[in-house]
Amino acid sequence: MKLPDLKILDEKNKTLRKISNEVTFPLSKEDKKTIEDIITYLTMSQIEEYSEKYDLRPGMGLAFIQLGIPKNIFVIVEEVDKGEFENYIIINPKMLSHSEELIYVGEGEGCLSVNREVCGIVPRYARMRVQYQDMEGNTKEIRVREDISVAFQHEMDHLNGILFVDKIDPKNPFKDKEKMREI
């Protein structure tokens, strides 16, 4: 596997605060290539051999805006089994519904654009239903839960110019922890 040359923006870059634009179809060759590159990058970042060789921080998701491209597209690569991955290519997502139950990631959320340790909890919905378009422009619906629900919300925030660190209360980073379930 060859590591794609992706330039992931750092949180200090103002572009990350832009609201991404609706995507029209058909997708351009460049967009398709970027999606392929993101899948390869995220997959390699989760395989120890490659993450060590290329000094990659493991990443599960990446939004186009993190590459400086303000389009409503994100990709999530989930390792479902050792060396076996499921890819989610989500274009123009809209949250249709969500659970009342809130969860948070026990070891804390991370982000390929935030290159520092961040303490605190990020409240997320335990489950949600999302409408999106696939690479051909077909409208689809997906129900996500637990860690994939967190990943979807994290990436959807990126499309709206929001970083996970914005959701942590600076005065009380573990605020309302007892009202949520840790995953």
| Long-range contact pairs involving 116-123 (C-beta distance under 8 Å, separation at least 24) | 118/164, 118/165, 118/168, 119/168, 119/173, 120/168, 120/169, 120/173, 120/174, 121/168, 121/173, 121/174, 121/175, 121/177, 121/180, 122/150, 122/154, 122/164, 122/167, 122/168, 123/167, 123/176, 123/180
- The answer, yes or no, to whether residue 13 has pLDDT greater than 90, is yes
Question: What is the pLDDT, as a whole number, of residue 112?
Answer: 97
Judge whether 155 counts as a catalytic residue.
yes
Banded model confidence at residue 141, pLDDT cuts 50, 70, 90: very high
Give the C-alpha distances (Å, rounded to integers) separating 35 from 30, 38, 61, 73, 98: 9, 5, 11, 9, 27
Class of domain 14-182: alpha beta
- The answer, yes or no, to whether residue 128 has pLDDT greater than 90, is yes
Whether residue 113 contacts residue 9, with contact meaning beta carbons closer than 8 Å, is answered with: yes
Question: What is the pLDDT, as a whole number, of residue 1?
Answer: 87
Within a 10 A sphere around the Cβ of 55, how many other Cβ atoms?
7
Which of 48, 117, 155, 182 does the annotation list as catalytic? Answer: 155
Question: What is the pLDDT, as a whole number, of residue 83?
Answer: 85
Whether residue 69 contacts residue 27, with contact meaning beta carbons closer than 8 Å, is answered with: no
Whether residue 94 contacts residue 124, with contact meaning beta carbons closer than 8 Å, is answered with: no
Give 54-96 pLDDT, tens digit per residue.
Answer: 999 999 999 999 999 999 999 999 999 988 999 999 999 999 9
The arithmetic mean of pLDDT across residues 121-139, rounded, is 97
Give 142-181 pLDDT, tens digit per residue.
Answer: 999 999 999 999 999 999 999 999 999 999 999 999 999 9
Whether residue 176 contacts residue 123, with contact meaning beta carbons closer than 8 Å, is answered with: yes
What global pTM score does this model have? Answer: 0.95
Instruction: Give the angle 94-175-100 at the CA atoms, nearest 5°.
Output: 40
Whether residue 78 contacts residue 117, with contact meaning beta carbons closer than 8 Å, is answered with: no
State which amino acid sits at residue 19: I
Among residues of the chain, what percentage have pLDDT more than 70?
100
In this structure, are strands 102-104 and 124-125 parallel, antiparallel, or unpaired? antiparallel
